[in-house]
Structure 1
Amino acid sequence: MSKDYSKKIKSIDDKLEKMRIKRKDSDYTKVKEDVFDTPTLISLYNLSNKDILYALGGAISTGKEANIFFAESSDKPIALKIYRITTSTFRAMEEYILGDPRFKNIRHEKRDIIMAWTRKEYRNLIRAQNAGIRVPSPITTEKNILVMDFLGENEVSYPLLKEVKLDTEQAHQIYETIKSYMRKLYKHGNLVHGDLSEYNIMIDPNNIEPIFIDMGQSVTLDHPRAEYFLNRDIKNITRFFKRFKISDSPEDLSAFVRN
Structure 2
Amino acid sequence: MGRNDEYEQFDREIEAMGVRIKDADAVKVRDDVFDEVTLMALYKLVHKKLISAIGGPISTGKEANVFYGERDGLGLAIKIYRIQTANFKAMNEYLAGDRRFSSVRGTRKALIFAWTKKEYSNLARAHEVGIPVPEPLAFDRNILLMTFLGEDEVPYPQLRNAAVEDYGAVYGTILDYIKRLYQEARLVHADLSEYNILYHEKPYLIDMGQAVTLDHPRAPAFLIRDVKNLNRYFSRYCDVPDEEEVLRAITGTGRREP
TM-score range, shorter chain: 0.7 to 0.9
Displacement of 1:74 after TM fit? 2.0
Is contact 2:22-2:56 (8 Å) kept? no
**Rounded Cα–Cα distance in structure 1 between residues aligned with 2:78 and 2:105:** 25
Determine helix, strand or coil for the equivalent of 1:103.
coil
**Deviation per residue, 1:158-209 (Å, 9 max, x gap):** 0010111323xx21111111011010001111100000010000112xxx21
Describe how 1:83-232 pairs up with structure 2 within 5 A. 83-167=81-165, 170-204=166-200, 208-232=201-225
Displacement of 1:94 after TM fit? 0.6
**Rounded Cα–Cα distance in structure 2 between residues aligned with 1:218 and 1:182:** 11
Is contact 2:174-2:203 (8 Å) kept? yes
Displacement of 1:92 after TM fit? 1.2
Q: Which residue is 2:14 aligned to?
A: 12
**Rounded Cα–Cα distance in structure 1 between residues aligned with 2:198 and 2:10:** 36
Describe how 1:18-57 pairs up with structure 2 within 5 A. 19=23, 21-22=25-26, 28=28, 31-57=29-55
**Rounded Cα–Cα distance in structure 2 between residues aligned with 1:186 and 1:134:** 14
Determine helix, strand or coil for the equivalent of 1:35.
coil
**Rounded Cα–Cα distance in structure 2 between residues aligned with 1:178 and 1:64:** 27
Q: Which residue is 2:239 aligned to?
A: 246
State the aligned residue count.
242
Q: Which residue is 1:76 aligned to?
A: 74
Is contact 1:125-1:136 (8 Å) kept? yes
Displacement of 1:246 after TM fit? 1.6
Displacement of 1:42 after TM fit? 1.2
Is contact 1:203-1:209 (8 Å) kept? yes
**Deviation per residue, 1:194-232 (Å, 9 max, x gap):** 00010000112xxx2110100000000000100000000
**Rounded Cα–Cα distance in structure 1 between residues aligned with 2:22 and 2:174:** 41
Displacement of 1:77 after TM fit? 1.2
**Rounded Cα–Cα distance in structure 2 between residues aligned with 1:42 and 1:112:** 15
Displacement of 1:8 after TM fit? 7.4
Displacement of 1:16 after TM fit? 10
**Rounded Cα–Cα distance in structure 2 between residues aligned with 1:22 and 1:63:** 15
Is contact 1:160-1:202 (8 Å) kept? yes
Determine helix, strand or coil for the equivalent of 1:101.
coil
**Rounded Cα–Cα distance in structure 2 between residues aligned with 1:59 and 1:8:** 17
TM-score, with length taken from structure 1: 0.88
Displacement of 1:127 after TM fit? 0.6
Q: 1:245 to 1:77 in 2, by over 3 A?
A: closer
Q: Which residue is 2:3 aligned to?
A: none
Displacement of 1:53 after TM fit? 0.8
Q: Give the CA RMSD over aligned residues.
A: 2.1
Displacement of 1:34 after TM fit? 1.8
Q: Which runs of 5+ in 1 are unaligned?
A: 1-6
**Rounded Cα–Cα distance in structure 2 between residues aligned with 1:222 and 1:232:** 17
Runs of 4+ in 1 over 2 A off after TM superposition: 7-10, 12-23
Greater helix fraction, Structure 1 or Structure 2:
1
**Rounded Cα–Cα distance in structure 2 between residues aligned with 1:242 and 1:110:** 39
1:257 to 223, 244, 250: 250
**Rounded Cα–Cα distance in structure 2 between residues aligned with 1:43 and 1:197:** 30
**Rounded Cα–Cα distance in structure 1 between residues aligned with 2:22 and 2:149:** 25
Displacement of 1:249 after TM fit? 1.4
Displacement of 1:39 after TM fit? 1.1
Q: Which runs of 5+ in 2 are unaligned?
A: 1-8, 253-258
Percent of aligned pairs sharing the same letter: 46
Is contact 1:194-1:218 (8 Å) kept? yes
